[in-house]
Structures are given as structure tokens and as C-alpha cells.
A = this chain, B = another copy of it.
Amino acid sequence: MKNNVNRELPEKWMQKWDYQGYQSSQTGNPVIQRVAPKVHVSTGDGKVVDSLEQLVPKLVHNGMTISFHHHFRNGDFVFNQVMRVIIDAGIQDLTLAPSSLTDVMNDIVIEAIQKGTVTQITSSGMRGSLGDFVSHGHLKNPVIFRSHGGRARAIEDGDLRIDVAFLGVPNADRLGNANGMAGQAVFGSLGYALMDAQYANQVVLLTDNLVAYPNTPASIKQTQVDYVVPVAQVGDPDKIGSGATRFTKDPKELKIASLVNEVITHSPYFQDGFSFQTGSGGAALAVTRYLRQSMLDHHFQAAFALGGITKPTTDLLNEGLVRKIMDVQDFDRGAAESMQTNPKQQEIDASWYADPNNKGAMVDQLDIAILSALEVDTQFNVNVMSGSDGVIRGAIGGHQDAAHAKLTIICAPLVRGRIATIVPAVTTIVTPGDSIDVVVTEYGIAINPRRSDLMAALQQIPGVPVLSIAELQALAQKKVGQPQPLTFTEQTVALIEYRDGTIIDQIKAVQD
């Protein structure tokens, strides 16, 4: 069977897991019965448990689904501690359902797969040795990749039922009131973890900072927490920050950022009270800087910035250029600490951020999204998941979600080294071209023909060459040539869910 973006889907898994193929980026107006957890009633006394070794076998049983958050990113000390205990306890056949997997988790996940501890994974992404391992077909079941909004939807609608969530926090009291803002290993918004806290049947907090009761502000509430486990250290503060936090000097990135700024400021969405999500990384930070100047020049304020927040964005908040920050995740310590002091930086959970089956998520109200890509094809489909060698090395993150913005801009270099970014057909479709409006490269921009309004608005910007996406692709191919087609085995190693829970693509095992 093929779906609406012409991708072949594996009938075995589609049937076994009762999946539908992707149809459309529009959700419509269904009425959805949400689900709720089982609550183990207590007075709240006796939640503090010193030994993970004693607690884990009481809670985690063969076949269960367990979860973690990835707010500590590569500074995470929690995941390895818990998984070590789970593996050593001999527990089998678990579904691992973290909000995402970071590189520091790779070794132990591979070990858990090899020992039969983990037989199924759902995540936003994976990279490095784990991506390679899975891409070679070593996991029993295909990984299910979901966007952050898609994970929220799956949890709220009952597609992903978490038995036990293990959530690291930089502070908590003895009943489990906790936030991400104070302590040694602060990461700011608990946005993704709030889903697990609200919906998991049992919630275990791990903290290196047991504070006086009652701990406020309580992002995670005592009413959601079953156990609190004191540990030596939940994270390495120096490794929590992700990506570039300094202004790029790369001329290609600066060129792209400048073109993105031109596209934004010439679009009909750039007006007082507009909204944007820029994300992290060198080009994104550069866009934020250019955008700041444009806002000053036009005397515009943004109604809100969304995301994935960095210090340059909280600086805009302090400067009054951004009125509110809606904050599901903080990419650096500056942004994390700002949330503690600035009430205009509102913590939001992944549902509020992007669950498509909602009464309006933030992304539904978003004007402008700046997103990256590993590949974009001539149908404007975007791949942020698999490399040009077909190996899993990415994460959906909020890509499908933020692409729901009124103006979605993909910024990417035309080529990376000897590899084209703009291609005839992406290796893996993550975000459908249907929701992409403009592609910006250092050689010029391509506008989705679906958007004739933008064609008109952006056609005549001085210094901004407008090409067709086919022309961009041809230009890339001219530079790097036509690569050998990839070869895969027949084994499906991953399914890519669209945010609405349909399947937009699969990833097959690589053939070395």
C-alpha cells in the first residue's frame, strides 16, 4: 500500500499496529475521547525511596512501557542509572518510550536491545551508534518515530500508554513537587516531561536536590508523582546546553540567515503582533539577530516566540521586542534561568505546544517557523531523520509540528560537502511538502507553487533570487553529481508517524 505522499508502507506492521497511511496535513475537527492514568492512592508520605535497585523491580515488569524525558540532552545522568538497574534486574521485552534519545544513551540502549530488555522503541529520534545499530536491523520491532506534538497526541489519545515514567529533575520535594528551573542541572521548561507526569500510571522522580516541602513553582505536581529517588547527580550542567549559542561567522550560514530575514520581512505575516519559532543552531541564532534589527526598524513587537528557546530569544523578551515566550524546551542555561525570573516566559507542555488533536495548540497559532533539513525534495518534502547513506541519524523534534505555521521556511545549504541537500526525492519523508512554504539556500529561495500568494509577495525582493525547487535541485546536482541509489533490505526498521498518528514513511535496514 502507498500513502498520499506516494510512499510504500509495510503491510505487516500497518495491520499489526492498526495504522493508517498519511493523508493530509490538516487535522479537521474530530471528537477524541482522551485517556487517563490509573492512580495508586496514597497520602503522599513515604514517597522518598533511597534505592533504585529495590524500587525498579517493584514497578517495572516484563512487557511494560517505560519513559524518560530528554531535557538534559547530552548531560543526562538519569537514563543510564535507571536502565542499568532495569537491565541488571533481568526485566525483558520493554517498550522504551522517551521523549527522545540522546547520544549519551546509545551504549546502554544497544546493550538493552542485545539482552532482550528492550524490544520496541518509540522516540523523537536517535543518532550515532544507536541509529546505526537500529538501521542494521538489530531491533525486534520497528522504531516508531513521533514528533513532540505527535507524542503528546499519542499519549493523550491512548496510542502510547506509559506504565512507568522515570523523570530526572534538578529539584523536588519529598512528595514530588518539582520544576526545571532551580538547582545544579537546570534545563528550564519541563515541557515534554509534563506529558509523562500527567499520563503515566506511575511516576518516579530522580533528583539530586531534595528541597523543603512544599516546593514551588510546581511544574510537576505531587498529585502526579509516586516516588522520589535521591541520586548523586541528575545531569552535567555543562552538557545540557545544545547546539551553537554564539553568533555564527560562517558566511554561508550568514547568507542563509539574511535571506530568511528578507523572506520573513517581505511576507504578509511580518507585522506588529506576529509570532515565530526559530529553533537552535547557528543559522537560527543568526536569523534571530537579523529579525531583531528588522523589528526595531519597523517598530514591530512579536506577540510570542515559540519553541525550543535560546538566550537570544529571551534577550528579545527582556528588550520588549517579544511580548511572551511560550516555552516547551530551553536549549541553553540562559533561557532556562530566564524562565525562573520572567513571568512572561510561560512554560507549556508538549500538548499545548503541538498536539494536533487539541482545542488549538500553539503551532496552530504560529505565523512563522524557521526549520532545518537534511534533505528537501522537489515536492518540498523534508527529511530530518536519515542520512544520505540511509542510516538513522536525526530527530523529528517539533519539525512536523512547527511546519504547521502559516509561513514555514526551511533553511539549508544547497549542498553539504559532496552531498546534495535539495534532491529529487528525500530518503525519508518526515514533514510533507504540503506544509512547507519556502526553501532558503545560500543560492536563493524556492517557493512552494501551492503558495501563489507568497510567489507574488516574495518575487521582487532585491538580492533574493527566486528559483523553482527543480532549479535548486538541478543546481545542487550540478555541483555534486548524482549519487548512487541507496540499497536497503526488505526489513522495516522504523516507521515515521505523521503528527496525527498516520504513517508518512518507513525506514528500511541498510545493506552494507
Contact = CB atoms under 8 A, between A and B. Distances in A.
Contact of A212 (B35, B218, B323, B355): B323
A58 to B, nearest CB: 14
Interface in A332-350: 343-344, 346
A485 B259 CA distance: 87
B175 A360 contact: yes
A228 B218 CA distance: 28
A41 to B, nearest CB: 5
Given A44-B365, A346-B216, A361-B223, A31 B39 contact: yes
A73 to B, nearest CB: 26
A355 B42 CA distance: 11
A214 interface: yes
Contacts of A304: 213-214
A473 to B, nearest CB: 32
A302 B382 CA distance: 56
Contacts of A31: 38-41
A176 interface: yes
A43 interface: yes
Nearest to A46: B360
Contact of A223 (B32, B217, B323, B351): B351
Contact of A38 (B34, B39, B176, B225): B34
A42 to B, nearest CB: 6
Copy total for this chain: 2
A33 B38 contact: yes
Nearest to A33: B38
A217 B346 contact: yes
A343 B44 contact: no
Interface in A345-396: 346, 351-352, 355-362, 364-365
Contacts of A27: 41, 43
A51 interface: no
Contacts of A29: 40-42
Contacts of A355: 223
Given A212-B323, A214-B304, A217-B343, A39 B360 contact: no
B359 A222 contact: yes
Contacts of A324: 214, 216
15 contacts: A27-B43, A29-B42, A30-B41, A31-B41, A34-B39, A41-B359, A43-B364, A44-B359, A44-B360, A175-B360, A175-B365, A212-B273, A216-B344, A223-B361, A225-B359
Interface of A: 27-45, 47, 156, 175-176, 212-214, 216-218, 221-226, 273, 303-304, 323-324, 326, 343-344, 346, 351-352, 355-362, 364-365
